[in-house]
Amino acid sequence: MIYYRLALQKNQSVEWEWASTVCDSFDALLESRQRYHTLSEGQMRVFLASSVAYMDILLVRENLGLPANSWTLEELMRDPQMGADIHVQRFEAELGWDVAGDPSTAKAPCLTGVLDKPGLEVETSDYDEPYIFALPAFMPHTEALLKLMIKVRSGELVP
Global pTM reads: 0.60
Between residues 102 and 46, the one the model is more confident about = 46
Percent of the chain predicted with pLDDT > 70: 73
Sequence-distant (≥ 6) Cβ neighbours of residue 15 within 8 angstroms: 9, 63
Mean pLDDT value of segment 113-138? 55
What is the pLDDT at residue 100? Answer: 52
136 pLDDT exceeds 70? no
Q: Picking from 21-35, 107-121, 123-137, which range would have the lowest pLDDT averaged per residue? A: 107-121
In angstroms, the CA 95 to CA 110 distance is: 8
| Diameter over CA atoms, the chain | 55
> Cα dihedral sign for 24, 94, 151, 132?
positive
What is the pLDDT at residue 48? Answer: 92
Q: Taking the domains of the chain in order of start, what are their residue ranges?
A: 3-154
Between residues 61 and 41, the one the model is more confident about = 61
Instruction: List the beta bridge partners of residue 4.
Output: 23, 48
In angstroms, the CA 157 to CA 9 distance is: 25
Residue ranges in 70-126 assigned as alpha helix (H) = 73-78, 85-94
In angstroms, the CA 41 to CA 115 distance is: 32
Q: 18 — phi, psi (to 5°)?
A: -65, 140
The confidence band for 65, taking pLDDT boundaries of 50, 70 and 90, is confident
Mean pLDDT value of segment 42-71? 89
Mean pLDDT value of segment 83-111? 67
